[in-house]
Chain A
Amino acid sequence: MQLGFYFDQTRCSGCLTCIVACKDWHDIPPGPVSWMRVTTTEQGQFPNVSVTFLVSLCYHCAEAPCVPACPVVAITKRKEDGIVVVDGQACLGIESCSGACQAACPYDALQFEAEPDAKMQKCDLCWDRWAEGKKPICVEACPMRALDAGPLDELGSKYRRIKEVVGFTFSQVSKPSIVFKAGGLR
């Protein structure tokens, strides 16, 4: 089974509540690390403008390239739900291994604090919350209900199985676990 995300680009207002909710739940201090990010794409010229938002985080790829990239097997993909997790104790640190996982990730999802030889961290799909029957904190937080998470098969049949939206290219190599509803130029 593979858990994944659903993101409705037509619903996202770019409010950034998901980012704060994630930082609070995972107790991430102010600074460069943010497991959840939102990118804004501005297209066109005044007055024919379009603006779309995209959540940017670890998509827990089916063939996660960060897993084999790690020299010490600190990154693993859980068999039971496909969540890609990192063992912070085992991670060597970004300088010690030259950030091999970061270089392998097509989505810039892997995060490091500014401190020397910082350990890798990233979205863990709130695996702690699933155990309590709850969805990830970002899903629960979204005021516009633009996010969902669940078994990827179910998300694909519940929503339309769109793989690419403004700002996002589906990697055929890594196969990210996310489906979309698309916004964009009208």
Chain B
Amino acid sequence: MTTERGPTGEEKIITTACKSHCGGSCLLRVHVRDGVITRIETDDGEEPQLRACLRCRAYRQRVYDPNRLKFPMRRTGERGEGKLERISWGEALDTIVSELNRIRGTYGPSALLFLGGGGDTMELHRNSLIEELLAMTGGHTARWGNQSFEAGLFASLATYGTMGTIPSRSDFDDLLNSRLIIMWGWNPTVTIHETNTSWYLLQAKELGIKIIFVDPRYTNSAAFLASQWIPIIPGTDTAMLIAMAYVMIRENLHDRAFLDTYTIGFDQFRDYVLGEEDGITKSPTWAENITGVPAYTIENLAREYATTKPAALIGGIAPGRTAYGEQYHRATKTLAAMTGNIGVHGGWAGRCSTPRSMWGGFDFKLGKLPSSGGNPVQFGIPRRKDSLPTGYGLEGSDSAARIHYSELADAILKGRAGGYPADLKMAFIMHTNPVNQLANTNKLVRALRKLEFIAVAEQVMTATAKFADILLPVSTFMERNDITTTGAPPYYGYVNKVIEPLYESKSPLEICQGLATRLGISIYSEKTEDEWLREIVKGSYVPDYDAFKKKAIYRIKLPEPQVAFKKQIEDPENNPFPTPSGKIEIYSQRLADMNKPELPPIPKYIEPWESRNDPLTAKYPLQVITTHFKRRAHSQFESVAWLRELVTQAILINSIDAKARGISNGDEVRVFNDRGEMILPAIVTERIMPGVVDLPQGAWYSPDERGVDRGGCANVLTKDARSPGGAFCYNTGLVQVKKV
């Protein structure tokens, strides 16, 4: 055991909020004795309680994980070997600053790449501190593309003209007002999204609200919530949605008044659906051949969705992480409009199922941290030609000076000569694990070896940390104060420091202060952590900072759950949608003007690469999807022993595919394609479609001497290509599986 209960000292219980890139934020009541965490309880206060899931219940072992980084270190071996030696904080920060100045001086500021990730998605100790500091001191190359839901952002911008209008996503407690819930590729029991999402869905089930799942897998969410499971071939969701539109049009079930009042372009969409545009009728029979879903099932779902009011068709974000995933999100929004389910309680506007704290959830009125006012590398650089106007929270992400995150390895390897906007020479990586979490791991490994200098700030020895020239140890949220926001109804969580930072680890603010001072920027050091937090809270709804800190929670009382675009629907005259037409754009002139067949002005089914019809299936006949895993938050928590022993990292394969390969449950198998290879156990199950294998993402890349991954890192197999609208394609790919 990593901790001992000392015989002396009184046990204190400190209430704190957690948030570990799951979208939830729960309350933890942490027992501490002699400065050591001894136990963790969860919320037992007022309803709705914020009960933590298994991940943060195991956080004691994450704090005392033997993999924790203890001291600043300098690389002594090859990149990726993980051979490092201890240095002082002074030497580590001096080295980073001197390399930063050298690289900028030699190659210009665009040679510096900053990568920040989710990590602990809190309000003060976040990677944007460093990103803004770099922008203040000359600039850097930034990435664009949200790995989780770029397809949803693109579709929201195209259809609603925004993803930041508040609220642009209804609250999950509003699902209790639905009469039918369709969970499309969404497994919130594992992905959480918000603390009580599954709890509200369970209450909906117990109220008798029918919940239908469309998913290649029979997930744990489906296991306890579903009244029906419709398995679908990955990457074909758009075809099924379009065939549902066909049924509604043919049977005259669509809401014409809603379409006339609030949308433009339905006629063009109808022409496409009925085959008047391209000669192909998008009938349920057409879709059956593509999706593997029987035509009658598609017909019945279309009728049920069109005639049950209100109904929520929630487009989960996984089906959008495919080639042409933008079309899927565009199609869910179009169906929501056709059924009049936008702007009403119990409906769903079809904005992707992102957590509230993301764009457009709720305005918590938080104070701002120091801002550069812009990244000089992007000054004077136009927008990308294939971008839609952004706004709230994404300003500048459409700059042509940015590199799409899925193309990072290619950009490092080829640079300007390959058409990318920069020749990258140095990377500063904070709170993110791109070696593990970006598509095509083996290519990124080659690319990272080419850089002149890499600095990484991390809590544990991740696959990416092993590539650092200078590695900085970061404290966990148990070792610092911070603030979280999320929830339905919305709330602020106070992250109370529970113990002193372990070893020589420092908080992101302290790291920023250390770098800023060396770069001649004093503003970060002008306030302490507590003063910055008071500054963040000052203009918010929190009336009393100290009372908030003590309780670790401040809840906002709303008269009713928020509904996306309610104003735009109730009073369209005074509240137009922020699109060029002021309406919901089923047809987007902006997209038409791009004149790109792969970004059509109306939602269309476009067959993904590496589909079941690809000639590559002769070599690699199985589709791989890379899903979330219940004991990790992406790659976080992977080394926590209490969690590791609960579920084995394995590939899920249907019994038919297993039998054809002589694979029994628990057998070691090789999973491979032209991009990479791994060996891990197989789980033979009826819970996944034949022809599809599920490889949970986030397991740590651990290549053996032959380069075969033994950790089960899904991205060894995924393709580093982006969809035309920027979607990441983690769920588009072909592999073969063989018994070892």
Contact = CB atoms under 8 A, between A and B. Distances in A.
State which size class the interface on B falls in.
Answer: 35 or more
Interface stretch (B53-61, B125-133, B419-427): B53-61
Given A27-B1, A30-B644, A142-B51, 7 more contacts: A17-B53, A21-B54, A24-B57, A46-B656, A134-B44, A140-B41, A186-B227
A27 B33 CA distance: 14
A137 to B, nearest CB: 7
Interface string B219-259: 01111100101010000000000000000000000000000
B687 A141 contact: no
A17 B52 contact: yes
Contact of B42 (A19, A49, A140, A145): A140
Given A27-B1, A27-B5, A46-B654, A15 B220 contact: yes
- Which among B52, B222, B642 has the greatest number of chain A C-beta atoms within 10 A? B642
Contact of B643 (A20, A44, A186): A20
18 contacts: A13-B189, A17-B52, A17-B53, A20-B58, A21-B42, A25-B41, A29-B1, A45-B686, A46-B654, A49-B218, A49-B229, A51-B687, A140-B41, A141-B42, A141-B51, A141-B57, A142-B51, A145-B199
Interface in B682-697: 685-690
A156 interface: no
Interface string A162-186: 0000000000000000000001001
Contacts of B224: 10-14, 53, 144, 183
A141 B52 CA distance: 7
Contacts of B643: 20
A53 B225 CA distance: 13
A30 B51 contact: no
A45 B229 CA distance: 13
B202 A11 contact: yes
Nearest to B51: A143
A23 interface: yes
A51 B227 CA distance: 12
Nearest to B222: A51
A47 B229 contact: yes
Contact of A143 (B39, B198, B227): B198
Given A42-B685, A49-B687, A142-B51, A24 B60 contact: yes
A137 B223 CA distance: 25
Given A13-B224, A14-B224, A21-B57, A144 B646 contact: no
Given A24-B57, A24-B60, A27-B1, A52 B223 contact: yes
B358 interface: no
Nearest to B1: A29
B705 interface: no
A134 to B, nearest CB: 8
A102 B364 CA distance: 55
A16 interface: yes
A14 B198 contact: no
Given A46-B686, A47-B229, A14 B54 contact: no
B218 A16 contact: no
B686 A44 contact: yes
A31 interface: yes
Which of A10, A24, A50 gathers most chain B CB within 10 Å?
A24
Interface in B55-76: 57-58, 60-61
Contacts of B685: 42
A49 B54 contact: no
B87 interface: no
User: Is the interface on chain A under 10, 10 to 19, 20 to 34, or 35 or more residues?
Assistant: 35 or more
Contacts of A143: 51-53, 198-199
Contacts of A23: 642
Interface string B624-665: 000000110000000001111111000000111000000000
Given A20-B57, A143-B199, A183-B224, A47 B645 contact: no
Interface in A1-60: 10-17, 19-21, 23-25, 27, 29-31, 42, 44-47, 49-53
A37 B624 CA distance: 30
Q: Of A29, A30, A143, which is in contact with the most chain B CB atoms at under 10 Å from its CB? A: A143
B40 interface: yes
A46 B689 contact: yes
Nearest to A12: B224
A25 B202 CA distance: 27
Contacts of B229: 47, 49
Interface string B593-630: 00000000000000000000000000000000000001
A20 B642 contact: yes
Interface in B178-212: 189-190, 198-199, 202
A141 B51 CA distance: 7
A11 B654 CA distance: 26
Contacts of A186: 227
Nearest to B224: A13
Contact of B58 (A24, A42, A140, A142): A24
What 5 A-B pairs come out closest when comparing CB atoms?
A30-B641, A51-B223, A20-B57, A13-B189, A17-B54
Nearest to B685: A42
Nearest to A183: B224
